Structures are given as structure tokens and as C-alpha cells.
């Protein structure tokens, strides 16, 4: 599902779940890009971005190491407890020590690995989105800038901790070009409402227009509710030609 923000000059592409521990950006073609980016170009761009985050081999490897160390550690802990009667009272059973060490090491590796995977995936997404932004910023008719938007939502209080969920969107700002060497990434504040889908207000304002705009769309004759919008909300017609 494509998000339609308050600003009609921006299109939000959300993340969708595609499987166990797998997600990707929605490849549904937004109608607001009609006449600006073709459906084929859009699908190719989204596929390139999704390929940059599709690999889960490292996550599965870390999960496997964690599961194996936990199972072996628990087994050694149980066996050490059963055979503890064969040791002197002042000696700590070695199997219990090894089992505890394995569980601690496995948990440490899993935690560090998950943080590393998260940062690597975020950097890959940023590079892929920046590459697409450079491509579409040079369009001769209607340039577009692509950026990665991060939204943090509050999901509730569990145990002794407040839980937050990070959500990613690709934001396509229509009619704006950026310097290829200065791509900006936006990180929003924590949103108190867990049902919030879109990020905060867009900082890109539509450019001023010359003259008084028509109150009806010349293509579908639909009443324009927002006279500052650059595209028809019904048919996607561009009111401002470059």
C-alpha cells in the first residue's frame, strides 16, 4: 500500500513483510508518479533497493550459532548438575562452568551480530536510495529526489523497558533535485501513537506559482481542493509543466 501524505508533492513507499525475518519496500506503482517515472523504471529501482537488503545469510548464521550454544550449554549445565555428587563440595563442577560460559558467549555473539546486521542493512539501504536519487534528479522534465525516512514509534511497556519500533519509508519528492554529493537522510522523533504510519510534516514546501491557478483539473474536470498542489489527486495530471 502506497502512502499519500499531506504534501501532494511527496510519495511514501512503505516496507512490507515478505517472509520470516524478511522484508522489502512495496513495489506497487504509485499513481502520483504517472507521467514522471514510468512503471518499469520504478519497479527496477525498487528491485535494486530490495536486493541490497534481501540477504539474510548472516542473520541465519548468527541465529544458528546462538541456538547451538544455548542447547549445548543447557545440556552441559544439566549433566554437570547430575554428576556434581562425584566432586568435592569445595570444587565447582567443570561442566556447569562450561555450560554457563557457552550460554553467555552465545548470547553475546547474538546481540553483537544483530546490531551489526542492522547497521549494515541501514547503510546498504542508504547507498541504494542515494543511487536512485542521483538518477532521477537529472530528469529533464520532472526531477525527483529519493530519500530514506526513519520513523520511531512507541509500542508499549514490556517488563521493565519501554519498547520502540523503527519503521523505514522511501520518500520521493517530486519536482526537486538534489546535489548527488549531498544526499540528506531524515530521522524523525519518537511518535507517541503506535498506529502512526507516516512521518512528521514534510519540510519540502511546493514552489510558488505564477498567476492564479485553475480551480478545476483540465483533464478530468475534478475540483481542486488544494490549489497549491502540483498534481491532480484523481488522475495524476501535472498542473505545472517544466
| Residue that has been written with the C-alpha cell 514534510 in this structure | 202
Q: Does pTM top 0.85 for this prediction?
A: no
35-62 pLDDT, tens digit each:
888 899 999 999 999 888 877 778 888 8
Distance, CA of 18 to CA of 9 (rounded, Å)? 28
Distance, CA of 153 to CA of 191 (rounded, Å)? 5
Strand partners for 164: 154
10-24 pLDDT, tens digit each:
889 988 887 776 788
By C-alpha distance, which of 125, 127, 123, 104 is closest to 115? 123
Amino acid at each position: 500500500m502506497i502512502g499519500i501524505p499531506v504534501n501532494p508533492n511527496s510519495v511514501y513507499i512503505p516496507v512490507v513483510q515478505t517472509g520470516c525475518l524478511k522484508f522489502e519496500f512495496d513495489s506497487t506503482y504509485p499513481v502520483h508518479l504517472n507521467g514522471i517515472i514510468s512503471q518499469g523504471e520504478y519497479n527496477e529501482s525498487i528491485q535494486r533497493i530490495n536486493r541490497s537488503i534481501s540477504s539474510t545469510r548472516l542473520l541465519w548464521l548468527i541465529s544458528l550459532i546462538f541456538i547451538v550454544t544455548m542447547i549445548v550449554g543447557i545440556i552441559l549445565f544439566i549433566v554437570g548438575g547430575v554428576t556434581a555428587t562425584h566432586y568435592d563440595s569445595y570444587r565447582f563442577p567443570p561442566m556447569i562452568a562450561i555450560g554457563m560460559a557457552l550460554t553467555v558467549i552465545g548470547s553475546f555473539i547474538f546481540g553483537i551480530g544483530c546490531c551489526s546486521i542492522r547497521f549494515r542493512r541501514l547503510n546498504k539501504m542508504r547507498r541504494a536510495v542515494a543511487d536512485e536519487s542521483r538518477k532521477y534528479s537529472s530528469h529533464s522534465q520532472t526531477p525527483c529526489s529519493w530519500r530514506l525516512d526513519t520513523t520511531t514509534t512507541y509500542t508499549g511497556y514490556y517488563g521493565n523497558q519501554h519498547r520502540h519500533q523503527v519503521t523505514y519509508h522511501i520518500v520521493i519528492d517530486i519536482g526537486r533535485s538534489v546535489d548527488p554529493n549531498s544526499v540528506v537522510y531524515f530521522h524523525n522523533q519518537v511518535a507517541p501513537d503506535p498506529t502512526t504510519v507516516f512521518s512528521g510534516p514534510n519540510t519540502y514546501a511546493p514552489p510558488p506559482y505564477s498567476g492564479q491557478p485553475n480551480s478545476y483539473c483540465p483533464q478530468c474536470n475534478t475540483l481542486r481542493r488544494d490549489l497549491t498542489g502540483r498534481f491532480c489527486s484523481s488522475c495524476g495530471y501535472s498542473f505545472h509543466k517544466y
